[in-house]
Amino acid sequence: MVPTFPAPRSLDRFLHLGYLGVRVFFVISGYLITSLLLKEADTQGCINLRKFYYRRALRIFPPFYVFMAIVLFVCWLGLLADVSSGGLRGMIPSLFYLSNYLPGNWYSGHSWSLSVEEQFYLLWPLMLLTLGRRRSFRLAASTLLIIPMIRLGYLLLFHAGGARHIGSTFETAADAIATGCVLAAARQWLQARPGYAAILRSKWFWIMPGCVMGLQFLFSDSIRYTYAISITVGYTLMNIGIALTLDRVVTYPNDAIGRLLNSRPLVSIGIVSYSIYLWQQIFLSPYDDGFAFRFPINLAFVALASTASYFLIERPALRLRQRWEPRLFASAGQQHPRTPHSNILIDPEPATSD
């Protein structure tokens, strides 16, 4: 959901880049998570599910549930506008990462993307373990064709009712994540292809991110028939363009764009980006008109709240994770026998310090 908070009219159209930002996040997430899982499988001989979920839980849950507790309390006090579906009960699906199927309160509405991510975290490691590397990546690659057809089917069968869920439910949004997964699996093979390597090296490559942004603007206000093109061809082209841009940045980190992305201001924003995403939803609300919600004052409050969230919640949680991980998974590096159905090793009972 992109807010329509008070701001100069000239900025309205750029708010659609919020949707593109989520898409970029999905592709990067698929790439990073898959790269980490494959590295663990190759170096440790197994994927330790307990360790994976432990690390994800202490990274994601503390800032999110503190945010949700504060929002619920402030809404209960009546200090925020009541824009929920079913009152405060409308926020319950967000607590269980189901808001991409059961949307509710505006203030937790952005949790749909976190719900998609959590569903990915639950499914993807299990797929790698049960189906094996080759079958899993074939399935991930097939979703790049299947999910656009699912989106089109929703539009044709359910019209406006189905369109409301396109791009937010897992089965209509996971192809962006799958694009990153496929990149992680196929990157070395792709870069060995002369044509692909030439594209990445090209001095004209940076037309690519411009094209991705152009596609986002092109389809931002589309009517039904052009919307059908957007959710099939448009989304797919954006996913591929984002993946190519990601590969370029990873492959050539010292070029001009790489240096820009690694500059101190952007790195600082990246460090607190999760907290920024959580807290912006309150202060960019179009339903509240108090002092803290007026542009550009609201941006200062976003910066203040997200910085506090990072230093008071995120960092302590990450330190706790780092402190306890060696004790809980002291034997995680031990080798385990291969299963006959997978070339990724299964850790049947990850050792703990209990």
Query: Which of 8-17, 227-236, 241-250, 254-263 is predicted least confidently?
Result: 8-17
List the chain domain ranges: 15-328
Query: What pLDDT sits at residue 344?
Result: 44
Query: What pLDDT sits at residue 159?
Result: 65
The answer to whether residues 15 and 315 touch, using CB atoms and an 8 Å cutoff, is: no
The answer to whether residues 13 and 306 touch, using CB atoms and an 8 Å cutoff, is: no
Give 40-82 pLDDT, tens digit per residue. Answer: 988 888 888 999 999 999 999 999 999 999 988 888 777 776 5
Q: How confident is the model at residue 160 (pLDDT cuts 50, 70, 90)?
A: low
Q: In which element (H, E) is residue 151 found?
A: helix 133-163
Give 334-353 pLDDT, tens digit per residue. Answer: 544 444 333 444 433 333 33
Residue 300 tokens, joined: 């200062």
CA distance 110 to 120: 17
Q: How confident is the model at residue 302 (pLDDT cuts 50, 70, 90)?
A: very high
HSE-CB at 62 with a 13 A cutoff on CA atoms is 18
Over residues 315-328, mean pLDDT: 91
Query: Which of 82-91, 96-105, 128-137, 156-165 is predicted least confidently?
Result: 82-91
Residue 47 bridge partners (DSSP): 346
Q: How confident is the model at residue 163 (pLDDT cuts 50, 70, 90)?
A: low
Percent of the chain with pLDDT over 90: 45
Query: What pLDDT sits at residue 4?
Result: 44
The answer to whether residues 80 and 74 touch, using CB atoms and an 8 Å cutoff, is: yes
Q: Does residue 216 register a pLDDT over 90?
A: no
Q: How confident is the model at residue 214 (pLDDT cuts 50, 70, 90)?
A: confident
Query: What pLDDT sits at residue 122?
Result: 94
Cβ neighbours of residue 233 closer than 8 Å, sequence gap 6 or more: 148
Q: Does residue 15 register a pLDDT over 70?
A: no
Query: What pLDDT sits at residue 161?
Result: 57
Residue 349 tokens, joined: 């009972």
Q: Which residues of 287-314 are buried (b: 16+ CB within 10 A; e: fewer)?
A: ebeeeebbeeebeebbbebbeebbeebb
Query: Which of 5-19, 48-62, 93-107, 241-255 is predicted least confidently?
Result: 5-19
Query: What pLDDT sits at residue 20?
Result: 87
Q: Does residue 12 register a pLDDT over 80?
A: no
Query: What pLDDT sits at residue 343?
Result: 41
CA distance 227 to 223: 6
How many angstroms separate the Cα of 72 from the Cα of each of 64, 79, 200, 283? 12, 10, 47, 15
